């Protein structure tokens, strides 16, 4: 196996990836109200990330009551290392925390509304299935957020392990370092420490994904696709689907931010 197929996937998705990295949304993340809107939407992508991650862990490791060794030893190790870093990292205060929980802490620091995502998690904790959450929207998630998460649900539901891994790798791990670099640049200076928890979250993602999780995830793709060209084609399609969903999500968040910036009430509040 070589990097040829990895490179072919990256080439196929390069145009959409470029649009995401050059999206005008970053220019409008210049005040606290805009950051609150962004985070209130984006937290669903943070939660959705864990859906893909845990789907991979379930399929690549033994999580049943009776343990048996799974077939792919390399992929098993890779996914367990990624899960450990994402679900059991250390927060800003050196305490154990998932990255999702770090994100909630960052939202609370700037006064962002966490009720919608908390309602979703509460419904899940009450026993609602992923199908009822995504297909029937029992948590009453706003449409642009639900549409984004539904794409991952569809990929997971299809059950093709290499496609789930591709959506995770090229729609998340491979994208996040460059994507979040656009957000984190000058953020702390601009808000004078008011976003310290969010900056820490972003820096942890940049550090882990660029240096560790990104390369691990690519190696996992190589293990799962091997020399099967059909699998590589399906991996390419899943990657493109995930990035298209992210681009539509970014457009929706940007529209919400622009709408708020054009509100006379907001302008008065900012000038007060």
In this predicted structure, what is the pLDDT of residue 176? 73
Q: Other C-beta atoms within 10 Å of 236: how many?
A: 21
72, two tokens = 């792919």
Strand partners, 97: 89
225 closest CA partner among 170, 269, 150: 170
pLDDT at 272: 44
pLDDT of residue 4: 64
Distinct helix (H) and strand (E) counts, the chain: 15, 2
pLDDT of the chain along its 272 residues, tens only?
455 689 999 999 999 999 998 999 998 988 999 999 999 999 999 999 999 999 999 999 999 999 999 999 999 999 999 999 999 999 999 999 999 999 999 999 999 999 999 999 999 999 999 999 998 999 999 999 999 999 999 999 999 999 999 999 988 867 777 777 777 777 777 888 888 899 889 888 888 866 778 888 899 999 999 999 999 999 999 999 999 999 999 999 999 999 998 875 654 555 44
Q: Do residues 174 and 218 touch, judged by C-beta distance below 8 A?
A: yes
- Cα–Cα distance for residue pair 198/25, rounded to 1 Å: 17
Q: How many CB atoms sit inside 10 A of residue 193's CB?
A: 10
The reported pLDDT for the residue numbered 186 is 75
pLDDT at res. 1: 44
Counting beta carbons within 10 angstroms of the beta carbon of residue 78, is it exposed (0 to 12), middle (13 to 18) or buried (19 or more)? buried
- pLDDT at position 269: 53
């Amino acid at each position: 196996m070589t990097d040829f197929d990895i490179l072919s996937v990256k080439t196929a998705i390069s145009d959409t990836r470029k649009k995401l990295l050059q999206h005008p949304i970053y220019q409008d993340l210049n005040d606290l109200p805009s950051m609150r809107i962004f985070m209130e939407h984006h937290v669903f992508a943070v939660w959705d990330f864990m859906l893909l991650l845990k789907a991979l862990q379930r399929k690549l490791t033994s999580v049943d009551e009776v343990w048996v060794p799974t077939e792919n030893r390399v992929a098993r190790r890779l996914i367990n290392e990624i899960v450990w870093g994402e679900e059991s990292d250390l927060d800003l205060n050196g305490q154990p925390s998932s990255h999702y929980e770090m994100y909630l802490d960052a939202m609370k620091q700037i006064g962002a509304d966490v009720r919608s995502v908390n309602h979703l998690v509460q419904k899940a904790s009450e026993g609602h299935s992923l199908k009822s959450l995504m297909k029937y929207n029992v948590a009453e998630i706003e449409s642009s957020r639900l549409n984004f998460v539904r794409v991952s649900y569809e990929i997971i539901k299809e059950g093709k392990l290499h496609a789930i891994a591709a959506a995770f790798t090229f729609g998340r791990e491979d994208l996040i370092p460059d994507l979040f670099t656009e957000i984190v640049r000058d953020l702390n200076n601009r808000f004078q420490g008011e976003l310290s928890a969010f900056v820490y979250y972003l820096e942890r993602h940049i550090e882990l994904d660029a240096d560790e999780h990104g390369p691990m995830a690519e190696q996992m793709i190589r293990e799962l696709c091997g020399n099967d060209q059909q699998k590589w084609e399906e991996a390419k399609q899943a990657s493109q689907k995930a990035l298209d969903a992210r681009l539509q999500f970014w457009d929706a968040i940007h529209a919400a931010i622009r709408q708020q910036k054009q509100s006379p009430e907001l302008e008065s509040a900012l000038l007060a």
